[in-house]
């Protein structure tokens, strides 16, 4: 079996190539750039504009390299917003792969390097407090198996539908929609037609936004307030 391999992307940050899926974990045009744009700028920043005084609860579908999680931690520190972060990852990466990722070269906050290791090394299912405002839980579960709470922001970051189609099925999108609070939002790098139709069927109107480098579109869906 060919091992997962490290690749340098267009902005100098790493991604990983999964040989069985023939897919990378992040955009080869820029892993850090993609995650910052899709999940922070179009996700957390957009939510914070509308709810500036509220803490935020996040559900991430696909921990992967941990890049989205550490960016959310940085966002929490910058904006001084309490974050509760739950991530689902049924197929965690080996420690020897995680140790090679160069994401910490791009941050100048000393505490983040230790937290990045803890994100990958901490116990599953338990809650962990990383720095004063960031509470973190990772669950070794598939989305279809997980019992969900209620969330303000969804990071939908599974492998692409043509690589991991089961995650994107309509019943999973409906499950996510039920777990979203009124006024909450979902962001994804994916702008596939069937995904958009599943969002609409689940009662989640969406905007097709300009995508990150190398991608024409991304999606942000919002659960309407009643």
Among 219, 74, 81, which residue's Cα sits nearest to residue 157? 219
128 domain residue, yes or no: yes
Total domain count, the chain? 1
Quickly state the pLDDT bin for 113 (edges 50, 70, 90): confident
121 domain residue, yes or no: yes
When pLDDT is averaged across residues 98-122 and rounded to a whole number, the result is 92
Strand partners, 223: none
16 domain residue, yes or no: no
The CATH number of residue 61's host domain is 3.40.50.150
Q: In the predicted model, is pLDDT for residue 46 greater than 90? A: yes
**pLDDT tens-digit map of 173-184:** 999 999 999 999
Q: 170-179 and 193-201 helices cross at what angle (nearest 10)?
A: 50
1 domain residue, yes or no: no
pLDDT of 111 reads 84
Place of tokens 């994107």: 168
Q: Which residues contact 111 (CB under 8 A, 6 or more apart)?
A: 131
**Does an H or E element contain 157, and which?**
none
Place of tokens 């490290």: 6
Q: In the predicted model, is pLDDT for residue 108 greater than 90? A: no
When pLDDT is averaged across residues 200-218 and rounded to a whole number, the result is 96
Q: Is 211 exposed, middle or buried (0-12, 13-18, 19+ CB in 10 A)?
A: buried
Query: Can you read off the two tokens belonging to residue 74?
Result: 């940085």
Place of tokens 């690589």: 163
20 domain residue, yes or no: no
38 domain residue, yes or no: yes
Contacts 24+ apart (CB under 8 A), 158-167: 158/61, 158/62, 159/18, 159/21, 159/23, 159/62, 160/23, 160/190, 160/192, 161/190, 161/192, 161/194, 161/195, 163/21, 163/22, 163/23, 164/21, 167/61, 167/62, 167/142, 167/143
**pLDDT tens-digit map of 121-165:** 999 999 999 999 999 999 999 999 999 999 999 999 999 999 999
**pLDDT tens-digit map of 73-104:** 999 999 999 999 999 999 999 999 999 999 99
pLDDT of 225 reads 83
When pLDDT is averaged across residues 187-206 and rounded to a whole number, the result is 97
Q: Are residues 139 and 125 in contact, defined by beta-carbon separation less than 8 angstroms?
A: yes
**Whole-angstrom Cα distance, residue 13 to residue 31?**
6
159 domain residue, yes or no: yes
Mean pLDDT for the chain overall: 95
pLDDT of 110 reads 81
What is the residue range of 183's domain?
31-222
213 vs 2, residue with greater confidence: 213
Query: Can you read off the two tokens belonging to residue 63?
Result: 């921990």
**Whole-angstrom Cα distance, residue 35 to residue 37?**
5
63 domain residue, yes or no: yes
């Amino acid at each position: 079996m060919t091992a997962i391999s490290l690749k340098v992307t267009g902005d100098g940050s790493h991604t990983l190539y999964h040989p069985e899926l023939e897919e990378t974990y992040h955009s080869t045009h820029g892993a850090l750039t993609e995650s910052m744009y899709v999940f922070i700028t179009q996700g957390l920043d957009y939510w914070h504009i509308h709810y500036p005084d509220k803490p935020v609860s996040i559900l991430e579908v696909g921990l992967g390299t941990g890049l989205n999680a550490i960016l959310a931690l940085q966002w929490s520190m910058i904006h001084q917003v309490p974050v509760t972060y739950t991530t689902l990852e049924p197929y965690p990466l080996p420690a020897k792969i995680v140790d090679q990722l160069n994401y910490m070269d791009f941050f100048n906050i000393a505490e983040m390097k230790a937290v990045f290791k803890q994100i990958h090394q901490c116990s599953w299912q338990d809650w962990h407090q990383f720095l004063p405002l960031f509470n973190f839980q990772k669950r070794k579960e598939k989305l279809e198996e997980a019992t969900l709470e209620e969330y303000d922001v969804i990071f939908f970051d599974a492998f692409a539908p043509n690589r991991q189609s089961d995650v994107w099925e309509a019943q999973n999108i409906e499950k996510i929609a039920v777990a979203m609070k009124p006024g909450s939002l979902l962001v994804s790098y994916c702008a596939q037609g069937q995904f958009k139709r599943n969002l609409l069927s689940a009662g989640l109107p969406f905007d097709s936004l300009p995508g990150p480098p190398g991608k024409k579109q991304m999606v942000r869906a919002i659960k309407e307030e009643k």
